[in-house]
Amino acid sequence: MRSQKARFLLTLTLILVSFLLSVSLPINSSQAWSKPLRTTLLAEQPLSEYKSRRQKLMEKAKDGIVVIMGEEEDDLGVGAKFRQNDNFMYLTGVEIPTGVLVLVPHSYQGAKEWLFLPAPNKFFDQWTGPRPPINEETAQAFGVEKVASLNDFQKVITEILTSEAFQKSGEKLYTVVPPSPYTKLVREEKFTEQARKIKSTINLNPIAPLLADMRMIKSEPEISMIQRAINITSLAHSEVIKSVKAGIYEYELEGAILGQFYRNGAQRAAFPCIVGSGQNATILHYEKNRKKIDRGDLIVVDIGAEYNYYAADITRTYPANGSFSPRQREIYQLVLDAQTAAVKAFKLGESTMQELDVVARKTMRQSPLKDSKGNPLDQYFPHGLGHFVGMYVHDVGDYSRPLPVGAVITIEPGIYLPDENIGVRIEDDYLVTKNGLVKLSSNIPSDPAEIEKLMAK
């Protein structure tokens, strides 16, 4: 009897408590934001970092103004996990959807930096979480001079574009304009159309080259984000070494890889995982990952975690059996030699990506190894030697000039022989330093004997 009464009282208390909680839950947004607002970091980078990027950009664009549109949210977060666009993130560190950053080097109402954000809204906040209030405290938390409501953007931009100061500065409007007719930039297009209506004489300038120049050279905080993404990716490669065997499916390895990414704090994969075995190892961007892995297959595993908006991109090629056949091993060794030759040829202040590419190809052409008809193997290396890595896996940067200190690149030769069921790619990430190239992904073995030894465990 006693225990029944106790259970009744407990149930009553629970109902009462949940009722009280539901009444007190609709706290206002400024309360919900009061704690996270006291931050000095955004995406683990100091506010000063974002500030100095905005200042640098304003220095480059001082003959006009800069407008950068943030990413819009899709269906209250149903379509995809929200990801801020790279340029907006690089300049603000703010992940709130639909923002607009306006930089006014000649200043407007005493401020050079204007961050327009959607105001808190009960309905939307219920679906996707509270937004910060539009006030001085939020401006301080984000390290910008001025935070304004998105509702006021039209009014402010009209005043700036029609002002005497803008006219004097050169009437240049720097923004992201479509680089080709095939690129979809709906929000930016709407804005530039609108800006032309406000001021027909404005001089529209692409901001992308100015930002690419800056983003090509990584700061210390950026390098530590990339290193973190690489370390997570190396844990995923270790997991592949442990799990790989004939008879399992490619997607099982993909599952193991993504499991390691998420377990270790990556927000997402920086690009779809490539797990290609046998014939699929010869398809450069194979990402179906549905085949059963056969004995004797080589498996190209080209993967990269994304950590705080920074990517890793590392490829290894594993033998399903745990050991390479003699032919697989000689092809593998040649790809590795081509990578080593390119790294050795690097000269700071001289080498461009293009020149390193030539070195890798020459190694393949001069090798005594040939295809079944006696042709040299460089013709089976159909892609470029590498690319910049950063917020985007194929990051922005200038491929024609010598690689500068602070650039992060991949070096990834490959040989693909569909007739022999062999595809090999080896890809590592390197930081350009004043002492030369530093391999950031050296904790993942690429020596064939070492891979076989690890697989035998």
The contact set with Mn ion (CB under 5 A) reads 313, 410
Least Å distance between CB 276 and Mn ion? 14
Q: Work out the number of other CB atoms within 10 angstroms of the CB of residue 126.
A: 11
Cβ-based nearer residue to Mn ion, 73 or 395: 395
CB 208 within 8 A of CB 179: yes
Least Å distance between CB 216 and Mn ion? 16
Total residues belonging to the chain: 457
**From the DSSP assignment, how many helices (H) and strands (E) are in the chain?**
15, 19
Cβ-based nearer residue to Mn ion, 101 or 444: 444
Least Å distance between CB 225 and Mn ion? 18
Cβ-based nearer residue to Mn ion, 175 or 410: 410
Cβ-based nearer residue to Mn ion, 313 or 395: 313
Closest CA to 258 of 248, 269, 249: 269
> Which residue's beta carbon is nearest to the bound Mn ion?
313
Structure tokens at 34: 């009061």
Least Å distance between CB 129 and Mn ion? 34
Q: Work out the number of other CB atoms within 10 angstroms of the CB of residue 382.
A: 10
Strands 203-206 and 172-175: parallel
Give the integer Cα–Cα distance in Å for 214 and 210.
7
- The sheet that has 274-277: what strands, in order across it? 274-277, 298-303, 314-319
Least Å distance between CB 413 and Mn ion? 11
Give the integer Cα–Cα distance in Å for 314 and 429.
7
Least Å distance between CB 394 and Mn ion? 7
Measured between alpha carbons, how far is residue 321 from residues 275, 416, 423 in Å? 16, 19, 15
Cβ-based nearer residue to Mn ion, 68 or 437: 437
The amino acid occupying position 172 is K
